[in-house]
Amino acid sequence: MTGGTQHGYEKGRAKRREIIDRAMASFGEVGYRGASLRDIAARCGISHPGLLHHFPTKESLLLAVLKHRDEVDGRWLAADGATGLEALRRLVDLVALNATRRGIVELFSVLSAEATSAAHPAHDYFVERYRMSVASFELAYTRARDEGILRPGIDPPTAGRQLVALMDGLQVQWLLDDSATDMAGVVRAHVQAQLTVDL
């Protein structure tokens, strides 16, 4: 590969990343339906056809944004191989991380609500994401139970669903009260009450 080709590739990749970042902000501010490709292109300082060169449809851009978010969070969400206690610690760490990323929290909260409609282009994505989140949290609680550190009476499938609901509800509160809600503190206290050891 020549130097010029490499430079062109890196420049294209950097522009693609900028488009994803601007789209993430736009989707978070006005939702998927309210955002326009022309506005996102203007935010990036490129023409509408220039944006379409990277992302031919609004749907393809949305899915790229969601995929990028998953890549960013991958190391926090991947609990495979972790003990029950460590997996639950990672979940609390993820909540603390989200408290530093308002734009991503806005994006997720707006799009997950919009995507309850089966006609939404991200509907299947969010159905699968929630299924995987619940399964991951249930696994963490199951491992904690198997390690003997889960309090009696805590049912892993129920606890997993409750934790997903708590995290999502706290994000909405946090967005509405201008970040005053201590999301990580509330989640930590909730999980700690379910364990017999220090989180």
**Cα–Cα distances in Å, from 3 out to 23, 73, 75?**
30, 33, 33
State pLDDT tens for residues 82-114: 678 988 998 898 899 889 888 888 888 888 998
Residue 75, pLDDT score: 62
**Cα–Cα distances in Å, from 26 out to 51, 111, 132, 134, 172?**
14, 11, 26, 28, 18
In angstroms, the CA 34 to CA 48 distance is: 17
Give the side-chain half-sphere CA count within 13 A for 99: 20
Whether 90 and 82 have beta carbons less than 8 Å apart is answered as yes
Residue 12, pLDDT score: 83
Nearest to 140 by CA among 66, 72, 88, 74: 88
Query: What residue ranges define each of the domains in the chain, with the CATH number in brackets?
Result: 1-64 (1.10.10.60), 78-199 (1.10.357)
State pLDDT tens for residues 115-156: 999 999 889 999 998 998 899 899 999 999 999 999 999 999
State pLDDT tens for residues 10-51: 888 899 999 999 998 888 788 888 889 999 999 999 999 999
